[in-house]
Each structure stands twice: as structure tokens, then as C-alpha cells.
Amino acid sequence: MRSLVRRAGESRRCGEGRFPLACAFRCAAAGIAYAFRSQRNLKIQVVLGLAAVAAGFALGISRVDWLSIVLCIIVVSVAEVVNTAIESAVDLASPEWHELARAAKDAAAGAVLLASAGSVIVGLIVFAPYVLDLL
């Protein structure tokens, strides 16, 4: 695996050349792909997000409800990708155990937990009336 960290004297991976914006998008996509490949929880969250989308179509939720569901899916996904970035940076900076490294990782994981819990609450608020109407 090649290093993503630029060493002294090496040229930049992104930002130079003819299409710096396209390169930036490729780098961003590579980061998302890394998070997806390496984080089991992100895979679970993607499956749950797809289940919420399927439920939204099946129940015919409103546009405002769609907005709530899509924003929750995005917020949880962003939180998980940022958590992955923080964990990777902490592992690079502090390969040995350190209390501050643990605190940084725990705080990042806590952000994912808060986003996920909030999304569950929003999901209950959105889907409960539709499900109750079916009963």
C-alpha cells in the first residue's frame, strides 16, 4: 500500500496538474471508500440507511419527512467518516497507548453515537404515524 503522507521533496497528489478539482474529488472518494472498507459500523449504517429509504418508499412519506431521513443518513455517514479520519490520525500520531489518544477516539465515537441516536429518534417520529395508520 502506498503512503498517503507526502514526504519532503515529493510532489503533491492533489491540487497540481491540469484537473486539481477532479483530483480532489478522487482523493475524497478514496477516503470514503477507505472508511467503508475498514469500518464495520459504516457498513451497518449504510444498510440501515437503505432500509430507511426502502421504508420511505413503501410508506409514501412526505417531502419534509424525506428531507429529515436523508439528512439523518448524511449526518451519520459524515460522523462515521470523520471518526475514521480521527482514529487513523491518532493511530499515526500515537502508536503507543496514551490517555489523550483514547480520549480523542472516544469523543469521536461519541459523536457517531449521538448522530445515530438522534437519527433513531427522527426515524421514530417520521415513521410511527405512517405505521400506526396501517394498523
66 occurs within a structural domain: yes
Binding residue positions for ATP = 87, 96-98, 105-106
62 occurs within a structural domain: yes
10 occurs within a structural domain: no
Catalytic option among 10, 16, 80, 99: 80
pTM score: 0.83
23 occurs within a structural domain: no
- What's the start-to-end Cα distance of the chain, in Å? 54
54 occurs within a structural domain: yes
63 occurs within a structural domain: yes
Q: Which CATH number goes with the domain that contains 114?
A: 1.10.287.3610
pLDDT of 119-129, one tens digit each?
Answer: 999 999 999 99
Mean pLDDT in residue range 15-23: 75
Q: Which domain holds residue 110?
A: 40-134
Q: Quick one: what percent of the chain has pLDDT higher than 70?
A: 87
Please count the structural domains in the chain.
1
69 occurs within a structural domain: yes
Active site residue 10: no
Binding residue positions for substrate = 80
Nearest one of 52, 122, 39, 29 to 79, comparing CA atoms: 39
Name 68's Cβ contacts closer than 8 Å, sequence gap at least 6.
122, 125, 126
Q: Is the pLDDT of residue 114 over 80?
A: yes
91 occurs within a structural domain: yes
* pLDDT of amino acid 5: 60
Select the more confidently predicted residue: 13 or 126: 126
